[in-house]
Amino acid sequence: MSGPKSETIEIRLPVSAEYLTALRLFVSGLAGRLGYTVEQIDELKLAIGEAFLTLVSRLDPQVGYVRIHWELGQNSLTVTLSDPAGKTRHLTTAPIYRVLDRLVEEGEVVPLEEEGEVRIRFPRPEIGRS
């Protein structure tokens, strides 16, 4: 899992805040295997969970689902949240992302208006790299 080549994962969650705990557990399980510390995992859960909730709060449940794409690169873990229906707007003017970006110590949280996506990137932990 921590080998040299990049791997990708994609999950889809319904537009519902009730899936937050399931998402946070998924983050823990995955990040745990990548060698992140408990505090780093807390940050990942915070950033990804809040980005998910922000999208959910701006989406019509009829849209269907939120797509969450994970790229396990050699040096970083990149998580992209998007609404495939493209109905989420004003991403870059959602100040919650600015707050989130400042809160996470090692990673970055970037809303991409053009793509209708929120991208979260964290460096891979030194301890977990093989």
Partner 1 sequence: MTRSDPPQPEALTPEAERELFETYRSDPTERNLNRILSQYERLVYKIAQKYHQAGVEMDDLVQVGMMGLWLAIQRFDLDKGVRFTTYAYQTIQGEILRYFRDCEWAMRVPRSLKNRCLKVLKEREKLGQELGRDPTLQELSEALGLSLEETAEALELGSAYHPASIVEELEARPVGPGGGVLGSTPYSPEEGVLFNQLMKQLSPLEEKVMRMRIEDGLTQQEIADILGVSQMYISRLQRRVLEKLRTWLDPEILEEQGLL
**Which positions lie near partner 1, rule CB under 8 A?**
21, 24-25, 28-29, 31-33, 35-42, 45-46, 49-50, 53-54, 57, 90, 93-96, 98-100, 102-103, 105, 125, 127-128
* Min CB(37)–partner 1 separation in Å: 4
Looking up tokens 């793509």 gives: 115
Helix or strand run (H / E) with residue 50: helix 38-58
* Min CB(46)–partner 1 separation in Å: 6
Handedness of CA 114, 74, 79, 97 (dihedral sign): negative
* Choice between 72 and 100, CB closer to partner 1: 100
By DSSP bridging, strand 76-82 and strand 117-123 are: antiparallel
By DSSP bridging, strand 65-72 and strand 76-82 are: antiparallel
* Min CB(87)–partner 1 separation in Å: 15
* Min CB(35)–partner 1 separation in Å: 5
Q: Among residues 88, 85, 75, which one has the least CA distance to residue 118?
A: 88
| Distance between CA atoms of residues 130 and 113, nearest Å | 36
